[in-house]
Structure 1
């Protein structure tokens, strides 16, 4: 049983290679039954409790000024440097120095000391005040342990001495010129217990004592989850690892740790300690069962080949699936559709000898090197090549990356097929748009294993459901794209109420903790049930994009197409019967000018001219539609200004001359102008 000491001192002196260690709470401010909220979890530290430390993580460093007693914390990445302060108390023997200080030249410097009195060793006299550096401890010919030290003088060459460990005297440590970082101090057992002074002249201050603050990960005897608390708690503990080696703690296991257990540990019962709350990766039924406190049957683990698949976007949006290699449904290949030549290039790089049919006509653009394509023509992709394009305005020839295809032309006269070759090669620029449909050479049914050995992606349709599944979610889908294959470590699991209906838990995508229990398996001894595995797992869009984020490979973007010039065939044709359009900005500026003229109060009232198109000879009056009957008040609206009517102009001039004022109301003018536009 270890000595009683504070938690801080025990952790600072603990060798992490010796973990796990079992501690017993002995005394401190944490009295019997006290509960504290630490690091987001309740921790109850009571006298007599057993705590199993399973991990340490350095959080910060606590610094205490010896002279003032004040303390503060520094981050572990602090860039300042500190110098070691020599101890004032002397060492009485060389053995005491060897026991308390490092032996040999290590990464953090060696121990240098002086003797306050003259020393005589083997007829050699060492004057007082000479510096000695401890190098190593050796055995001499008589089997006596001696300390090899290096003597460095100001005017003499370096020499080495062997001092017996029993040599007595007053030995004092020498203060060196070396500086240490906070990282070096906290990682050395010798340095972490020493005093230091800052090398910063302005803020050197008094002597400092550094104490690392760790976050302790531990298992407690009355809790099923891992607790975390800082090492700075004022608690006295005692190391009882040897006495409680056989004490059973509940050990929380992550999914990765479950998958690292020996095969002989399965099947077994387990309890969920922390469910995967907040995990938005799965849309399947079994995910809803993974709640805290639920019990599971773990049948084993293994590496399962899987396929990531997706559906085309439909009314319910896209769906995504993980399909296990065990899937027993039958599938037929489905023709893929391509919207550009670049898509053809990508598909042909994975499926050599790709054959497609043209599903939409394409007009020829000779200046861009785009050939004409007709619906129904058959193309076979041969390869890639750089093709010379017509010279540009500067006269320089341009190279265009193109897809070389073999085009087969259908001939109506069957007698000519044997006499002439109905195929030709043509180059399709990668930037060319088009519509193509893959030609499939067979209509047979495939298993998922057969297609996984083919080049993916593939478009398929499930035609025969997996009879092992109660409900096959892939059956009835109009199309399914098998995108890529990968291996996933899974844990074969079932619920105790249905031990034969299993599902596979992907280890790397479930952040949850379990613990093995001693409960009996839900079947008779020696009579395990026949297992039926759910081989299709629906995943969310978050899973799909997160997966591609982790496995994405740097690919070159598609080639940027050159700037296209409109060809003669694409020039807009002007119909001779079309009416010239009226420019809306000109119409707005004319209306604004009318308002300005009216607001100036001109002495001679003039009616604004009617807005007419530029060329009156081409203007045809618009057809007059029958209008609804209006009241007398509504009949005073402005007539259509696009219809020339002398009687209207005379009536309007007469109405203006009878008024008392020589200007019109702006509101009325706006209303009249609005009516003119609307009536048109």
Structure 2
């Protein structure tokens, strides 16, 4: 059992090579109570608690001046150097020097000392006051340990002598010119407890002592996660490693760490410490069992080949599955449906010689090079070519990617309806052309999943025979299933203790949860025959996150070429004209809403008299597109300020031929009201 000392002192003098160490909390002054919220972990240090220190990380170094008591922080990467201050206490034997050498005997020429009295070794006498530099420790043939030292004589001549460890004397450490970096000082438990001066200040500098500030990673007894706290906590600890060597501390493991455990660790029992809360990747029964505190049986770990599959969108929406390669159901290939020529091109690039049937009529568009297709036409994809398409505005021909297909149609002989002939021709279909096609399949064979994934994916299939190893096969009864691609996952084969034979595979990459191995007994006397769930339903989020992870980017379909403008087309109204026309109609509507035959208040003012300087010209009229309104105005009583209806009509016809493409109905509706007033 170790001595009682503060946590700061214990960690400063601790050799990290001796980790892990078990400490017992004996006493201390707690700030903010006895509970610390540090690094997101709640740490409660009470008297009697056991803490297993498993790691240290140097955060900073506190530097204190001995004379003044001032202290300041230094970063761990401080570039300056410091010289070691010799101690005043004497060493009594050479063995004591070797044992307390501040940097170890492996650092040649790092420790220099003198002897205050004369030394006699065999027939050699060493005068008092001679400086000796410790070089190394050697073992003689008789097993005696000797210290090899260097002594400097007259005219700087040097010699090496061997001093026995039991040699006694009054030895004192000498000042060394060697400088130590902050990293070297903190890495040595002997150096970190010594005094230093800054090499830039030489002997006039202040004496310094360094106190490292560490972040301690530890496992606390009866806690299931690693906690981190600083070494500056004012608590007293005692090293009880030897007393509690057999004490088992629970170690939390992530799913990745579980999958890297030795094969001999399985099967074993485990307890869930933190469940995958908030995980939205799985939509299966076993995922609901992964709750905190639940026990699991871990059978083995390994890698599994899986297939990503999806269904067409139906009443329940689109469904997604990951299917293990060992799935035992049987499937038939299903004819694929295509909604465009571009989809035909993608499929034919994976399956050369693709044959399809046309399921909807398509009319020909000669301007864009699209031929007519009839229901029942048989197409065989031959290849893709680059052809001349319709010209652009400048008249230059555009290059269009087309799919060359062999079209076969059945021709019925009029003389004998029973005799049918086939007529074939080659046609070119632009990739941007829409259409409806279905794949021609004559294959009615039942396949295993392993046989299907050996060919090129994707494939459309239908499960016709369920996997008998499953209690309920979720793929059975689906109208269609698209096998998209294969991938490999690291998995942990798991089961629940009440059903140890019903196993499921936990994908390590998609489950953020932590477990701890327990010493509970396995729930069987003899290992049962295992039945593995080979189908796992996943969510849409999993589907899209998977594609983000693999960075699979599909090429978008090409844009169709611009159509050549037709000369017979009527030019479209400009947005400016439409805006002006809508404003005018809005103003007329407001005027009509304010008019009433019996209205006296707010009565409209009479029209102003015509200008005197232009007595023969009528007021300007807005153009109209239709002459029907103008003819109606001629039959009504005209405004007295309009000199002649004939002139007005001619003016309307003249203005209607102008460039304006909007019409005004204000005058057409106002004139009948004016006739009533006048």
TM-score, length of structure 1 as denominator length: 0.69
- Going from structure 1 to structure 2, the CA distance change for 1:648 and 1:530 (only over 3 Å counts) comes to farther
CA distance in 2, matches of 1:183, 1:218: 27
- Going from structure 1 to structure 2, the CA distance change for 1:395 and 1:583 (only over 3 Å counts) comes to closer
Deviation at 1:287, TM superposition (A): 1.8
Q: Which residue number corresponds to residue 566 of structure 1?
A: 563
Q: Which residue number corresponds to residue 484 of structure 2?
A: 483
Q: Which consecutive unaligned segments of at least 5 residues does structure 1 have?
A: 596-600, 622-640, 654-671
**Deviation sequence 1:294-327 (CA, Å, 0-9, x none):** 2333344333222122233445443322222333
Asked whether 1:585 is paired with 2:584, we answer: no
Asked whether 1:101 is paired with 2:103, we answer: yes
- Going from structure 1 to structure 2, the CA distance change for 1:148 and 1:651 (only over 3 Å counts) comes to farther
**Deviation sequence 1:93-133 (CA, Å, 0-9, x none):** 78737832155679xxx847687999999999999999x99
Asked whether 1:604 is paired with 2:604, we answer: no
Deviation at 1:445, TM superposition (A): 2.5
- Going from structure 1 to structure 2, the CA distance change for 1:4 and 1:468 (only over 3 Å counts) comes to same
Q: Which residue number corresponds to residue 648 of structure 2?
A: none
Q: Which residue number corresponds to residue 250 of structure 1?
A: 250
Deviation at 1:217, TM superposition (A): 2.9
Deviation at 1:88, TM superposition (A): 4.3
**Deviation sequence 1:582-627 (CA, Å, 0-9, x none):** 93223256579999xxxxx9992689976543x44xx556xxxxxx
CA distance in 1, matches of 2:395, 2:668: 58
Q: Which residue number corresponds to residue 80 of structure 2?
A: 82
- Going from structure 1 to structure 2, the CA distance change for 1:559 and 1:81 (only over 3 Å counts) comes to farther
SS in 2 for 1:501: strand
Q: Which residue number corresponds to residue 465 of structure 1?
A: 466
Asked whether 1:644 is paired with 2:640, we answer: no
State how many pairs are aligned. 606
- Going from structure 1 to structure 2, the CA distance change for 1:396 and 1:234 (only over 3 Å counts) comes to same
Q: Which residue number corresponds to residue 21 of structure 1?
A: 21
Q: Which residue number corresponds to residue 602 of structure 2?
A: none
CA distance in 2, matches of 1:9, 1:388: 85
CA RMSD of aligned residues (A): 5.6
Matches within 5 A, 1:226-625: 226-261=226-261, 263=263, 265-314=265-314, 316-339=316-339, 343-357=343-357, 372=371, 374-375=373-374, 377-381=377-381, 405-410=404-409, 412=411, 422=424, 424=426, 436-522=437-523, 525-526=525-526, 530-552=529-551, 557-558=555-556, 564-567=561-564, 573-574=569-570, 583-587=577-581, 604=608, 611-613=622-624, 615-616=625-626, 619=627
Considering only CA atoms, is the larger Rg found in Structure 1 or Structure 2? 2
Matches within 5 A, 1:2-151: 2-16=2-16, 18-29=18-29, 35-53=35-53, 55-56=54-55, 58=57, 60-66=59-65, 69=69, 80-89=78-87, 96=97, 99-102=101-104, 111=110, 145-147=146-148
Deviation at 1:205, TM superposition (A): 10
Deviation at 1:211, TM superposition (A): 0.7
Q: Is contact 2:90-2:172 (8 Å) kept? A: yes
Deviation at 1:396, TM superposition (A): 10
CA distance in 1, matches of 2:134, 2:557: 69
- Going from structure 1 to structure 2, the CA distance change for 1:270 and 1:602 (only over 3 Å counts) comes to same
SS in 2 for 1:293: coil
SS in 1 for 2:87: coil
Deviation at 1:200, TM superposition (A): 11
Deviation at 1:538, TM superposition (A): 1.9
Matches within 5 A, 1:165-184: 170-176=172-178, 180=181
Q: Is contact 1:382-1:406 (8 Å) kept? A: yes
Q: Is contact 2:137-2:145 (8 Å) kept? A: no
Deviation at 1:218, TM superposition (A): 0.9
Deviation at 1:84, TM superposition (A): 1.7
Q: Is contact 2:272-2:514 (8 Å) kept? A: yes
- Going from structure 1 to structure 2, the CA distance change for 1:81 and 1:30 (only over 3 Å counts) comes to same
- Going from structure 1 to structure 2, the CA distance change for 1:586 and 1:418 (only over 3 Å counts) comes to closer
**Deviation sequence 1:378-411 (CA, Å, 0-9, x none):** 55555667778899999999987x5764524335
CA distance in 2, matches of 1:580, 1:548: 45
SS in 2 for 1:508: helix
Deviation at 1:469, TM superposition (A): 3.5
Q: Which residue number corresponds to residue 633 of structure 1?
A: none
CA distance in 2, matches of 1:133, 1:377: 101
Deviation at 1:541, TM superposition (A): 2.8
- Going from structure 1 to structure 2, the CA distance change for 1:588 and 1:485 (only over 3 Å counts) comes to closer
- Going from structure 1 to structure 2, the CA distance change for 1:548 and 1:194 (only over 3 Å counts) comes to farther
Matches within 5 A, 1:666-677: none
**Deviation sequence 1:634-671 (CA, Å, 0-9, x none):** xxxxxxx9963653654999xxxxxxxxxxxxxxxxxx
Deviation at 1:533, TM superposition (A): 3.1
Deviation at 1:250, TM superposition (A): 3.2
CA distance in 1, matches of 2:366, 2:56: 69
SS in 2 for 1:644: helix
- Going from structure 1 to structure 2, the CA distance change for 1:410 and 1:90 (only over 3 Å counts) comes to farther
Q: Which consecutive unaligned segments of at least 5 residues does structure 2 have?
A: 591-604, 611-617, 643-664, 671-678
Deviation at 1:268, TM superposition (A): 4.2
Q: Is contact 2:342-2:432 (8 Å) kept? A: yes
